[in-house]
Structure 1
Amino acid sequence: MKKTIVTSLLVLGTLSAKAQSYVGFLTDNYSGVNSLIANPANITDSRFKTDINIVGASTFFSNDYYGLKLGDVITSDFDFDTDGKKYPKDSNNFFGNADVLGPAFMFNLTPTSSLAIFTRGRVGYNVNKINGNTFESLSNGFDENDDLMIDEEDVYLTANAWAEIGVTYAQVLMNKDQHFLKGGISLKYLQGMGNAYASGKNITIDYDADGTPLPGGQTTGSIASVGEVNYGHSDNIDDNFEDFEVEIVDGATGFGVDLGAVYEWRPDYASYASTDGSNSFQHLNKYKLKFALSISDIGSINYKNGTQNTYDITATVNEDDFDNEDNLEDILNNLYTQTSVDAIEKFALPTALHFNVDYSLNNRFYLNLNTDFSLRSNSKVNTNRVPTMVSFTPRFESKWFSFYMPVSLTQGSGAQWGAGFRAGPLYIGSGSVMTLLLSDNSKAADVYAGLKIPVYQGKPKDRDGDGIVNRKDDCPDEFGPIENNGCPWPDTDGDKVTDKDDKCPEEAGEVLNDGCPLVDSDGDDVLDEDDKCPNEPGAAENQGCPWPDTDGDGVLDKNDQCPNEMGTVANNGCPEAAEVTEEVQKQLNDYAKTILFNSGKASIKAESTSVLVDIMSILKEYPEAKFTVEGHTDSVGSKTTNQKLSESRAISVKDFLIEKGIDSSRLTAVGHGEDKPIASNMYKDGRAQNRRVEINLVK
């Protein structure tokens, strides 16, 4: 009985879940048609004219229950049951897949769109939430006297094999300066080739080694179980759940979809734009940073002729009856209660979200970060799922050779380190080979290999380097513009101005004159192109125009200090100043003598303001004349005091006149004290005449 239970559980345990394929290789920009597995948008604007995959195969297994070192398996007498490390938990998980990419090819429809047709065979299997302690108990080889308690609660097991025939279309969606975006879609016709699944709810099994008495005083074990078991399978799996033959199953078809988009940041986009647009540099990677997002395996397969059985295993049976049954299905049919028979559940593809970032260190070395995240629940019946995986892959990449060393963190299996390469038509690698060789506790293993026929984008030939490829260049060996089909423009008159820009193409001229000879129509040595008066001789300083004489006084405006007022040549174009006559001089002094000051002070009395205004009017009539304001006193008082008083009064009059608008450069002030009397100081009237201010013309 124990062997039957162990066999049943281990067989189901080895049916692990669909997981990642071609780890590391799919980060390569030269993975070609294989890249549609990761993201259907990859096939357009690729490094290929066409890429033909002959065959490629990838297999992957990971779990969180069992670990080993590959070297021990190869070099020693390794016992998987006793020498490996086990990590039983209440909920262990197993993941794995086999993925064969058959004949497939891609080609470019236009410079911005591509098409691929592919065939693919896949086997996906998984065990979710199985109790690892059950495995541990059953595999330890206990004797028949040991009791056993199995507490499985809920468990989900799924295995499926299917084939795909698909078509992928990808299109450039945006190509604007440094921003580039492309999208793609894969439509897949699915052919089921075998499906089996099982689930259990609230399962417990209590094995009592001698719980059932037999005749003659013998005993045998008894098995008390509780719970519900549900399993389904396609019609190519007969009565034994362990028989899984991969073959085409009638009525088992479905459809799947993959969606993807890729954004590239191209800061050096100007370096990848030819003059005529004929060279899109598709032979080169043009991005500094690339982001890719995709959703794979949206869809399902309907096994129309499959069946699903549900059993209530709440019962107690003896060990002999259990051992007499041939297989698990006989055990369920003969020893427990079948509660329903239904059509098989649709098999749901392992839908997953993939996010990828690729950074270009230069045109050979890259750093890649990739995340795979399952969009399927681990507690859904008849559903494959991928384990969440994060991979960091540094790589060297060139047209004919690439090498990569992915470091991955896989759900349940921990860190993995791998290596792989592509050499022309051959690609081979593993995402876990280094861990398997170096670690004594590897919980994952994968390997892939394949052959293809790559036809790379060639570097367009442009011998003269004018940005126009040879096949479109009318003069492939001479540098020329696109406007002239790659040929240099002619220069018929040899004046270094090409005919297309030469306004006088058959007459040698000057570059600055658009190829025409320079002209001076009025002979003033100012060329017409610079002459604002080309038909009238003029001065170069006046841009070829004659100098004007606005006021007509014979003095040109440029020399006329009074250009809007007629004057004389002798006076620089200004009118001659009026002459101050003796009569005017006398009138000024008659006014000046009446200016009154406060006694013994230099302050002018208010009643003298009108006199000063009259003096100002006379001075303004002679704007070019200069005058001296002279102060005088009588002899009363000290001579020093009288000198200072006369100076102060002269300055007061001068300041008043300047304040009222007379130019200060025209006036000076001086005091004579009592030195220049005009009458006798012996008498009162004489002294009054001597106290005076005079305004005299400076000759």
Structure 2
Amino acid sequence: MKKTILTSLLVLGGLSVKAQSYIGYLSDNYSGVHGLIANPANIVDSRFKTDVNLVGVSTFFSNDYYGLKLGDVVTSDFDFDTDGKKYPKENNNFFGNADVMGPSFMFNINRTSSLAVFTRGRVSYNVNKINGTTFENISNEFDENEDFIVDEDDLYLTANAWAEVGITYAKVFMNKEQHFLKAGVSLKYLQGMGNAYANGENVNINYDADGTDLGGGETTGSITSQGTVNYGHSDNINDDFDDFEFEIVDGATGFGADLGVVYEWRPNYASYTSKDSEGNPYAPKYLNKYKLKLGLSLTDLGSIQYKNGTENAYDITGTVTEDDFDNQDGIEDILSTLYSQTGTGKAAKSALPTALHLNVDYNLHKKFYLNLNTDFSLSSNSKANANRVPTVASITPRFESKWFSFYMPVSLIQGSGAQWGAGFRAGPLYLGSGSVLSLLMSDNSKAADVYAGLKIPVYQGKPKDKDDDGVLDKMDDCPQESGPIENNGCPWPDTDGDQVWDKDDNCPQEVGEIENNGCPWIDTDGDSILDKDDKCPEEAGDAANNGCPWPDTDGDGILDKDDNCIDKNGTVANNGCPEIVQVTAEVQKKLNDYAKTILFNSGTASIKAESTSALVDIINILKEYPDAKFSVEGHTDSIGSKATNQQLSEARALSVKDFLVKNGVDAFRLSAVGYGEDKPIATNMYKDGRAKNRRVEINLVK
């Protein structure tokens, strides 16, 4: 009775696949072909030339109902039924999976693309949203004379086993200094190997231990139930869910796909990046080059159609005896014999556990990394025959090197709490668990997983540069001789031996100067001053004038450098200046003879009109001596005050100067001064003497 009812609950309980594979190991850059499980873009620009997986197995189980300490199980007489801790609640979950990666390999097509072929076998199962109190009643060693009630709501179950054969292609799409981007896709052929699912609505079962009178004082239990159940399965499951056998099922095929993209931030790209002869960047593949890596992937798109599978619907409302229930061979017999079948049809497609994954990997220092990985289910938990993954967040610190890696993942799994594990990779061997430390240290661990496998890794080798010129031998046309990248690693030739490479030498056949781009300096104008030093390379000149000819601004035949009057025609004898014509005593007397005839209106500085003729004559004489300077001097007699006479003499001298300047005599050649009555030339006692004293003189300034 107990086994039969427990089996019934497993069928009627909901199931969603909440399982993880290779926890911790997939964060390793040396996981090789396994990397495509998490993100198909991982296989390109990897640390491998090729990686061949022989076999790898990962199993996982988790629940939120039952907890224990692994040490107690190993070291004592542990009773699972009584010694473990139970946490019944309205919705408890039990889930697990197995993931077997068979022969698989990856290889590089070229520097920017890679290909992988892989095989996997996968099994997923779970009891989801079962009432914990109900489960506890059934799983205990109860007295069958004791009543119990199974009170459930809407339920979903999916159990699926399938094989995958797939191909993955990944390509680098951007490699630009600090920024690197790659993407990949996996296409998978799916072969179904067994599938069973059920979903129930408003399921309720009431067991009454002595509810049916058999007569003669004997009774048997009665089972009163209500609700509806849909039960579907592949054709290799005949009568009972317990008969689930893994085998290739005819007509059970499908297709799936994984998509992924990875971005890497490489701030130190200059320290390891080389360029080929075409200027394309090249970074050695044996190195991890990023400081920060971000990965985003979408996995398990697709489904499997079990063409020969069936699905039946039942109304389980009614009451049956315990004896009738026990006489049935399995759950399908129970449903078809004791309850009403309300419908039949083909089995629904088995949907893969579609999920979105975000991965962040940070290089702490050299070979030490910190990884954050999150998984989000994109499958509905209320869809028939649909697998799911849980929401999971894992933080994994790790040490990573070519031949050895070690990691300690800490995960928070929806429904199972925190898990702490450890794993390592040593050459061809990988082994680990995402929960081993939790099992050993916690007395309430609700999850367990383990993985192990063997592979044949062929790592990327460190590129050689024999001549140490920064050009890798594989791209170096002269690997034994140091040369620049631009010349494919070969030294530039210097045909004329002037220490200017031919590529920079404008005269490669003629010895020249570095400063003249390998050409010899020339003297175009033949003045013995090289063009590089010649300010006038097209015109012969003097070295003292930077190769330019001396100018003769005034055209007097005397070069400016020797000409004291570069703007005036002059003579050699006078250093380029014009000869100065001397003002003789006769000329001086003539000037003053004219000046004495200049008349003013009485008591003023106003010149009388009849004096104009004399002033014109004075102007003509002054122009004959353009370099001579003259003083215009005013004098008065002694009649009147001395101060008045002084002012009048100054005003009359200035009046004459102004007339001369206005009529063409340069102002700088003339000065005006008044002496008043201080310089008489005759006595002021008589009229004739006073007339002589009232005068203007124009005298040469020596």
Give the shorter-chain TM-score range.
Answer: 0.7 to 0.9
User: Given that residues 16 and 97 in structure 1 are in contact (C-alpha distance below 8 angstroms), is that contact kept between their aligned partners in structure 2?
Assistant: no
Looking at structure 2, the residues matched to 297 and 265 of structure 1 have their Cα atoms a distance apart, in angstroms, of 28
TM-score (norm 2): 0.84
Which residue of 470, 480, 500 corresponds with 1:477?
480
* Aligned amino acid, residue 395 of structure 1: R
Looking at structure 2, the residues matched to 54 and 327 of structure 1 have their Cα atoms a distance apart, in angstroms, of 40
Alignment length, in residue pairs?
Answer: 690
Looking at structure 2, the residues matched to 178 and 51 of structure 1 have their Cα atoms a distance apart, in angstroms, of 28
Deviation at 1:387, TM superposition (A): 0.5
Which residue of 440, 443, 446 corresponds with 2:446?
443
Tell me: CA distance 1:243–1:534, structure 2 relative to 1, closer, same or farther (3 Å).
Answer: same
Other-structure match for 1:407: 410
Looking at structure 2, the residues matched to 567 and 464 of structure 1 have their Cα atoms a distance apart, in angstroms, of 75
User: Given that residues 11 and 198 in structure 2 are in contact (C-alpha distance below 8 angstroms), is that contact kept between their aligned partners in structure 1?
Assistant: no
SS at match of 2:152: strand
Q: How does 1:412-423 map to 2 (within 5 A)?
A: 412-423=415-426
Other-structure match for 2:300: 297
User: Given that residues 11 and 242 in structure 1 are in contact (C-alpha distance below 8 angstroms), is that contact kept between their aligned partners in structure 2?
Assistant: no
Q: Per-residue displacement from partner, 1:447-473 (whole Å, max 9, x unpaired)? A: 111111111111222111223333554
* Aligned amino acid, residue 98 of structure 1: A
Q: How does 1:343-492 map to 2 (within 5 A)?
A: 343-470=346-473, 473-481=476-484, 486-492=489-495
User: Given that residues 14 and 155 in structure 2 are in contact (C-alpha distance below 8 angstroms), is that contact kept between their aligned partners in structure 1?
Assistant: no
Deviation at 1:122, TM superposition (A): 0.6
Deviation at 1:593, TM superposition (A): 9.3
* Aligned amino acid, residue 233 of structure 2: H
Deviation at 1:228, TM superposition (A): 0.9
Looking at structure 2, the residues matched to 598 and 589 of structure 1 have their Cα atoms a distance apart, in angstroms, of 17
Q: Per-residue displacement from partner, 1:231-258 (whole Å, max 9, x unpaired)? A: 1111111101122111111111111111
Counterpart check, 1:319 vs 2:349: no
In structure 1, list runs of 5 or more residues that go unmatched.
Answer: 605-609
Deviation at 1:158, TM superposition (A): 0.8
Looking at structure 2, the residues matched to 454 and 596 of structure 1 have their Cα atoms a distance apart, in angstroms, of 130
User: Given that residues 16 and 94 in structure 1 are in contact (C-alpha distance below 8 angstroms), is that contact kept between their aligned partners in structure 2?
Assistant: no
User: Given that residues 102 and 119 in structure 2 are in contact (C-alpha distance below 8 angstroms), is that contact kept between their aligned partners in structure 1?
Assistant: yes
Deviation at 1:514, TM superposition (A): 4.1
User: Given that residues 406 and 419 in structure 1 are in contact (C-alpha distance below 8 angstroms), is that contact kept between their aligned partners in structure 2?
Assistant: yes
Tell me: CA distance 1:92–1:504, structure 2 relative to 1, closer, same or farther (3 Å).
Answer: same
Looking at structure 2, the residues matched to 345 and 55 of structure 1 have their Cα atoms a distance apart, in angstroms, of 32
Q: How does 1:59-78 map to 2 (within 5 A)?
A: 59-78=59-78
Other-structure match for 1:82: 82
Q: How does 1:228-627 map to 2 (within 5 A)?
A: 228-270=228-270, 271-276=272-277, 280-470=283-473, 473-481=476-484, 486-502=489-505, 508-520=511-523, 524-531=527-534, 537-540=540-543, 542-557=545-560, 566-568=569-571, 582=588
Looking at structure 2, the residues matched to 15 and 105 of structure 1 have their Cα atoms a distance apart, in angstroms, of 33
- Provide the identity percentage: 73
User: Given that residues 603 and 648 in structure 2 are in contact (C-alpha distance below 8 angstroms), is that contact kept between their aligned partners in structure 1?
Assistant: no
Other-structure match for 1:101: 101
Deviation at 1:97, TM superposition (A): 1.6
Deviation at 1:645, TM superposition (A): 11
Indicate the larger mover: 407-416 or 226-235: 407-416
Looking at structure 1, the residues matched to 620 and 407 of structure 2 have their Cα atoms a distance apart, in angstroms, of 104
Tell me: CA distance 1:113–1:651, structure 2 relative to 1, closer, same or farther (3 Å).
Answer: farther
SS at match of 1:544: coil
Indicate the larger mover: 533-542 or 29-38: 533-542
User: Given that residues 128 and 378 in structure 1 are in contact (C-alpha distance below 8 angstroms), is that contact kept between their aligned partners in structure 2?
Assistant: no
Indicate the larger mover: 134-143 or 35-44: 134-143
Looking at structure 1, the residues matched to 4 and 454 of structure 2 have their Cα atoms a distance apart, in angstroms, of 43
Q: Per-residue displacement from partner, 1:89-126 (whole Å, max 9, x unpaired)? A: 33333332211110001111122111111111111123
Looking at structure 2, the residues matched to 474 and 65 of structure 1 have their Cα atoms a distance apart, in angstroms, of 68
Tell me: CA distance 1:553–1:196, structure 2 relative to 1, closer, same or farther (3 Å).
Answer: same
SS at match of 1:361: strand
Deviation at 1:628, TM superposition (A): 6.9
Tell me: CA distance 1:483–1:273, structure 2 relative to 1, closer, same or farther (3 Å).
Answer: closer
SS at match of 1:449: strand
Other-structure match for 2:609: none
Other-structure match for 2:25: 25
SS at match of 1:153: coil
Deviation at 1:308, TM superposition (A): 0.9
Indicate the larger mover: 586-595 or 148-157: 586-595
Indicate the larger mover: 288-297 or 574-583: 574-583
SS at match of 2:41: helix
Deviation at 1:446, TM superposition (A): 1.8
In structure 2, list runs of 5 or more residues that go unmatched.
Answer: 607-611
User: Given that residues 13 and 128 in structure 2 are in contact (C-alpha distance below 8 angstroms), is that contact kept between their aligned partners in structure 1?
Assistant: no
Looking at structure 2, the residues matched to 11 and 289 of structure 1 have their Cα atoms a distance apart, in angstroms, of 46
Other-structure match for 1:128: 128
User: Given that residues 119 and 164 in structure 2 are in contact (C-alpha distance below 8 angstroms), is that contact kept between their aligned partners in structure 1?
Assistant: yes
Looking at structure 2, the residues matched to 679 and 588 of structure 1 have their Cα atoms a distance apart, in angstroms, of 19
Tell me: CA distance 1:321–1:495, structure 2 relative to 1, closer, same or farther (3 Å).
Answer: same
Looking at structure 1, the residues matched to 246 and 168 of structure 2 have their Cα atoms a distance apart, in angstroms, of 26
User: Given that residues 41 and 260 in structure 1 are in contact (C-alpha distance below 8 angstroms), is that contact kept between their aligned partners in structure 2?
Assistant: yes
Indicate the larger mover: 286-295 or 22-31: 286-295
Deviation at 1:192, TM superposition (A): 0.4
Tell me: CA distance 1:634–1:490, structure 2 relative to 1, closer, same or farther (3 Å).
Answer: same
Looking at structure 1, the residues matched to 619 and 78 of structure 2 have their Cα atoms a distance apart, in angstroms, of 130
Deviation at 1:384, TM superposition (A): 0.6
Tell me: CA distance 1:437–1:594, structure 2 relative to 1, closer, same or farther (3 Å).
Answer: farther
Looking at structure 1, the residues matched to 80 and 51 of structure 2 have their Cα atoms a distance apart, in angstroms, of 42
Q: Per-residue displacement from partner, 1:535-566 (whole Å, max 9, x unpaired)? A: 75423454423223244222334666765654
Indicate the larger mover: 504-513 or 449-458: 504-513
SS at match of 1:242: helix
Looking at structure 2, the residues matched to 240 and 556 of structure 1 have their Cα atoms a distance apart, in angstroms, of 125
Deviation at 1:266, TM superposition (A): 2.5
Looking at structure 2, the residues matched to 181 and 340 of structure 1 have their Cα atoms a distance apart, in angstroms, of 53
* Aligned amino acid, residue 404 of structure 1: Y
SS at match of 2:154: strand
Looking at structure 1, the residues matched to 37 and 522 of structure 2 have their Cα atoms a distance apart, in angstroms, of 74
* Aligned amino acid, residue 244 of structure 1: F
User: Given that residues 592 and 695 in structure 1 are in contact (C-alpha distance below 8 angstroms), is that contact kept between their aligned partners in structure 2?
Assistant: no
Other-structure match for 1:154: 154
Looking at structure 1, the residues matched to 658 and 97 of structure 2 have their Cα atoms a distance apart, in angstroms, of 112
Other-structure match for 1:189: 189
Tell me: CA distance 1:97–1:598, structure 2 relative to 1, closer, same or farther (3 Å).
Answer: farther
Tell me: CA distance 1:60–1:692, structure 2 relative to 1, closer, same or farther (3 Å).
Answer: farther
Indicate the larger mover: 558-567 or 398-407: 558-567
Indicate the larger mover: 573-582 or 182-191: 573-582
Indicate the larger mover: 450-459 or 648-657: 648-657
Looking at structure 1, the residues matched to 589 and 64 of structure 2 have their Cα atoms a distance apart, in angstroms, of 130
Looking at structure 2, the residues matched to 177 and 393 of structure 1 have their Cα atoms a distance apart, in angstroms, of 28
Counterpart check, 1:116 vs 2:113: no
Calculate the aligned-residue CA RMSD, in Å: 4.5
Deviation at 1:176, TM superposition (A): 2.8
Tell me: CA distance 1:504–1:333, structure 2 relative to 1, closer, same or farther (3 Å).
Answer: closer
Looking at structure 1, the residues matched to 564 and 47 of structure 2 have their Cα atoms a distance apart, in angstroms, of 80
Looking at structure 2, the residues matched to 623 and 204 of structure 1 have their Cα atoms a distance apart, in angstroms, of 137
Tell me: CA distance 1:214–1:578, structure 2 relative to 1, closer, same or farther (3 Å).
Answer: farther
User: Given that residues 17 and 127 in structure 1 are in contact (C-alpha distance below 8 angstroms), is that contact kept between their aligned partners in structure 2?
Assistant: no
* Aligned amino acid, residue 272 of structure 1: T
Tell me: CA distance 1:207–1:698, structure 2 relative to 1, closer, same or farther (3 Å).
Answer: farther
Looking at structure 2, the residues matched to 283 and 120 of structure 1 have their Cα atoms a distance apart, in angstroms, of 28
